Structure 1
Amino acid sequence: MAREIITSARVTPMRSAVNHAVKAGGFVFVTGVTPFKGSERMKAEIAKGDLVAQIHQVMQNMQAILAEAGSSLDRAVKMNVALTDMTRYAEFDATFRTYFDEDNFPARQTTESARLAHPDFLVSIDCIAEA
């Protein structure tokens, strides 16, 4: 099975030993997308404390990565969401759903994570999409 490494120049480069995504077997496997805004790591911004702004940034980053792989959110089949505060689930869900047609939501699991990769992250989302 051939695999292709996917990176997007519109998304902050990864610091850890991961890529933005890997395309293989007819799918795109997107690493947990974070709410960094900007294409340069040392200049990247985070909307500190603003869950809705962070969700929008994560989804914009996700769209850029999927586009680079020749896919899109409407081809997403499974997403895993990590929230640092599950009491804000309704706020998350209301924002998340704006990125999909009502009859085309991906399968999704949402869990609470006490800490994410950066102390200011409130959300991170990974994705599997059709290529």
Structure 2
Amino acid sequence: MTSLTHIATPDGVAPGVNYSHVVWGTGRFIAISGQCAFDEKGDVVGEGDPAAQARQIFENLRRCLEAAGATFDDVVKLTVFVTDVAYLPAIREARDAHINNGRLPASSAVQVAALFRPDLLMEIEAFAVVSDR
């Protein structure tokens, strides 16, 4: 794990809620493509259920991070794409089950008209930084 610096609210910037405005570190950069609620067989988990989809996505993110030699402690940025911003509380709940609330990554949430399949409610991508080996 690398040493990351989190700044929740820089001087002159409105306070953020449930994210850090700035996160930085030194080391190897990892970009994880947007993850959707697919299980290991490629089937959608939780059709019509934002909480179930969010839990599956964070499990997929965990597996991707692990494959890169990282953990959620190394995540510096999350970008959430949702078909309805009403799903954000379910996403936060799934996120909080994996990420220390005192070390939240920088985050963006974007409502989109649709994802590439109509049964998908959200997609989440992540960026992480780990120490050079």
Please indicate, yes or no, whether the TM-score normalized by the shorter chain is above 0.5: yes
Task: Please list every run of at least 4 consecutive aligned residues from structure 1 whose deviation after the TM superposition is greater than 4 angstroms.
Answer: none
**Aligned 8 A contact 2:83 2:111 in 1:** yes
- Counterpart Cα distance in 2 of 1:47 and 1:94: 15
Q: Does 1:28 align with 2:35?
A: no
Matches of 1:28 and 1:111, distance apart in 2? 21
SS, match of residue 81 in structure 1: strand
Find the aligned partners of 1:49 and 1:71 in 2 and give their Cα distance: 31
**Map of 1:68 onto structure 2:** 67
Q: Which amino acid aligns with 2:118?
A: P
Task: State how far apart, in whole Å, the 2-side matches of 1:28 and 1:130 are.
Answer: 6
* Equivalent position amino acid for 1:26 in 2: R
Cα drift, residue 74 of structure 1: 1.1
Residue of structure 1 equivalent to 2:17:
none
- Inter-partner Cα distance in structure 2 for 1:128 and 1:62: 10
- The higher-RCO structure (CA 8 Å, 6+ apart) is 2
Deviations 1:13-41 (A, max 9, x none): xxxxxxxxxxxx71110000111012x34
Count of residue pairs the alignment pairs up: 104
Question: Where does structure 2 lack aligned partners over 5 or more consecutive residues?
Answer: 1-26
Is the Cα–Cα contact under 8 Å of residues 31 and 126 in structure 1 kept in the other structure? yes
Aligned position for 2:96: 97
Partner in structure 1 of residue 79 of structure 2: 80
Query: Residue 52 of structure 1 contacts residue 95 of structure 1 at CA under 8 Å; is this kept in 2?
Result: yes
Ranges in structure 1 where 5+ consecutive residues have no aligned partner: 1-24
- Structure 1, residues 33-79: CA drift from partner, whole Å, max 9, x if none? 111012x34xx233100100100000000000110000011100011
TM-score (norm 1): 0.73
What TM-score, normalized by structure 2, do the two folds share? 0.72
Query: Identity of aligned pairs, percent?
Result: 27
Q: 1:114 offset after TM fit, Å?
A: 1.4
**Structure-2 separation of matches of 1:82 and 1:72:** 21
